[in-house]
Amino acid sequence: MIVTSGVHLFNIDPIKLKNAIEELKSKGIEAEAFACDISNRASVDKLAVHARELGKISSVIHAAGLSPHMGDGKKVMEVNALGTINVNEAFYEVMDEGSCLIDISSMSAYLTPEIVMPKRRYKYSRINKDKFMKKMMARVNLFPKQLRSSMAYGISKHFVIWYAKTDAAKFGKKGIRVVSITPGTFETPMGKLEKNEADEFINYCAIKRPGKVEEIANLIAFCASDKAGYLTGADIICDGGCVASGWSPMKK
């Protein structure tokens, strides 16, 4: 989502975009849609230019992503990791002082064992994207085929947190804040796809229920606002206390 003079949504699925725009307009909210494939840099560049033409960009909320049930390991990595690189790089060029970019991660970044993460390979994201993707997939492909989507998801979301943090200094030179937010289990269409796993996660949360969409939306709105003007280079976990419990599906 991009915020200029109104709300501007981007998604690869035109039907989802149409439905979202209709819902927003029914509530009196000015909104516009733009189809975009974030795994394609040219597509993201067009989106960034279009957004800039509409006026000053006050915030970019990068929430596009695939869960393990939505694609194979390679596709999950392309959308979640490469997509984040594309969005951050493209919008860096068109955002101004006082704006904020928020990358959405997942508690899977914390629940996946740290030893699995190819963190030393993340640096290639800033050197050679093709080499970066090969390094990421080399790690994912070490696992049995049935686990690759899940491992790609955890690794890609861990990368999102790293990338947002390491972008903070660069963006800060332009007066732009960069924050990542790590949601837990929420009442969303993606959450429903992962229902079996989500129900298990909730058993270990301090708050024994899924999060409400309004709760994560309020957090995002605050982080993007001037009220959080000193917040950058940080990851905010909003998961009902699941990560804090120390539980991991790998410990079963």
The DSSP bridge pattern shows strands 2-3 and 7-11 to be: antiparallel
Query: Between 8 and 54, where is the model more confident?
Result: 54
Q: Where does the pLDDT of residue 13 fall: very low under 50, low under 70, confident under 90, or very high at 90 and above?
A: low
| pLDDT higher than 90, residue 183 | yes
**How deeply is 166 buried, as exposed, middle or buried, from its count of CB atoms within 10 A (0-12, 13-18, 19+)?**
middle
Q: Where does the pLDDT of residue 148 fall: very low under 50, low under 70, confident under 90, or very high at 90 and above?
A: very high
pLDDT digits (tens, 9 = 90+) for 150-165: 999 999 999 999 999 9
Give the span between the Cα atoms of 216 and 144, in whole angstroms: 34
Q: State the total domains in the chain.
A: 1
Domain that holds residue 62: 2-251
**Structure tokens given for 136:** 């990421």
Q: Determine the pLDDT at residue 10.
A: 65
- In this prediction, residues 113-124 reach a mean pLDDT of 96
Query: Between 56 and 78, where is the model more confident?
Result: 78
Give the span between the Cα atoms of 62 and 55, in whole angstroms: 19
| pLDDT higher than 50, residue 5 | no
Q: Are 9 and 33 in contact (CB under 8 A)?
A: yes
Q: Are 107 and 181 in contact (CB under 8 A)?
A: no
Other Cβ atoms less than 10 A from the Cβ of 155: the count is 28
Q: Determine the pLDDT at residue 17.
A: 65
pLDDT digits (tens, 9 = 90+) for 204-245: 899 999 999 999 999 999 999 999 999 999 999 999 999 998
Q: Determine the pLDDT at residue 27.
A: 74
DSSP at 173: T
Share of the chain above pLDDT 70, in %: 87
Calculate the alpha carbon distances from 103 to 63, 74, 75, 200 in Å.
Answer: 6, 20, 18, 26
Q: Where does the pLDDT of residue 194 fall: very low under 50, low under 70, confident under 90, or very high at 90 and above?
A: low
Give the span between the Cα atoms of 11 and 6, in whole angstroms: 17
- In this prediction, residues 99-103 reach a mean pLDDT of 98
pTM: 0.89
Residue 151 sits in a domain whose CATH number is 3.40.50.720
- In this prediction, residues 90-108 reach a mean pLDDT of 97
Question: What is the rounded average pLDDT for all residues in the chain?
Answer: 89
Residue 9, H or E segment: strand 7-11
Q: Determine the pLDDT at residue 199.
A: 77
Q: Are 141 and 73 in contact (CB under 8 A)?
A: yes
For residue 13, what are the contacts with CB-CB under 8 A and spacing of at least 6?
Answer: none
- Residue in 85, 155, 78 with CA at minimum distance from that of residue 114: 155
| pLDDT higher than 60, residue 1 | no
Phi, psi (rounded to 5 degrees) for 153: -65, -50
Q: Determine the pLDDT at residue 4.
A: 45
Query: Between 186 and 132, where is the model more confident?
Result: 132
Query: Between 31 and 200, where is the model more confident?
Result: 200
